[in-house]
Amino acid sequence: MKVRGGISDVAVGYIELYYNRLFAAGDSAHPSRLYWSQPPGDVKTIENWSMDDFSEAASGGHTEVGPTNNDPIVGLTALSNQLIIHKESGNYRLIGSNPSNFQILQINSGVEKMTNTNRISHGDVPYWLTRAGMYYYNGQQALLHPRSRQMRNTLRGANLDHSKGIECRDKLYFTLRAASGTGADDTVIYYDMTENVWMKRNGFSIVDMVTRDGEIYLINANRYVCKVGGTDYDGTPIEAYWRTPITDLGAKSIIKEPRKMIMRGRSGGVNDAISVTEYSGTIPNITEFILPSNDESVKEIALHNEGRTFHYEFRNKAGSWWKILGGVEILFNGKSME
Q: Give me the torsion for CA of 212, 127, 161, 179, rounded to 10°.
A: -100
CA dist 31 and 40 (Å) reads 27
Ramachandran angles phi, psi of 13, nearest 5° = -105, -20
pLDDT for 9: 74
For 110-128, the pLDDT digits (tens) are: 888 899 999 999 888 999 9
Range in 99-113, 128-142, 228-242, 244-258 with the lowest mean pLDDT? 228-242
Q: Per-residue b/e over 289-321, b at no fewer than 16 CB within 10 Å?
A: ebbeeeeeeebeeebebbbeebebebbbeeebe
pLDDT at 3: 46
> Got the DSSP string for 92-147?
EEEE-SSTTT-EEEEEEESPPPP-GGG-EEETTEEEEEETTEEEEE-SS-EEE-TT
Length of the chain: 338
CA nearest to 142, candidates 124, 122, 158, 128:
128
More confident residue, 198 or 46: 198
Is residue 279 scored above 80 in pLDDT? yes
Say how far apart CA 184 and CA 205 lie, in whole Å. Answer: 6
Q: How far apart are CA 291 and CA 268, in angstroms?
A: 9
Summarize the confidence of residues 317-334 as an average pLDDT.
86
Listed range (12-16, 95-99, 221-225) with the worst mean pLDDT: 221-225
Q: What is the pLDDT of residues 147-204, one digit of tens each?
A: 888 888 888 888 898 899 999 999 999 999 876 656 667 889 999 999 898 998 887 8
- H or E element that contains 320: none
Determine which of 88-92, 96-100, 194-198, 318-322 has the lowest per-residue pLDDT on average: 318-322
Average pLDDT over residues 49-56: 77
Decide: 187 and 175 in contact? Cβ < 8 Å.
Answer: yes
Q: Is 157 exposed, middle or buried (0-12, 13-18, 19+ CB in 10 A)?
A: exposed
Give the integer Cα–Cα distance in Å for 7 and 5: 5
Query: In order of start, what are the domains of the chain with their CATH numbers?
Result: 1-110 (2.20.25), 241-336 (2.60.120)
Task: Tell me the three-class secondary structure of 23-89, residue by residue.
Answer: EEECECCECCEEEECCCCECCECCCCCCCCCCCCCCCCEEEECCCCCCCCEEEEEECCCCEEEEECC
Rounded mean pLDDT, 76-85:
94
Choice among 13-22, 49-58, 151-160, 316-325 with the minimum mean pLDDT: 49-58
Range in 2-16, 66-80, 92-106, 213-227 the model is least confident about: 2-16
Pairing between strand 273-279 and 311-316?
antiparallel
d(CA 118, CA 71): 20
End-to-end CA distance of the chain: 79
Cβ contact 251:331 at 8 Å: no
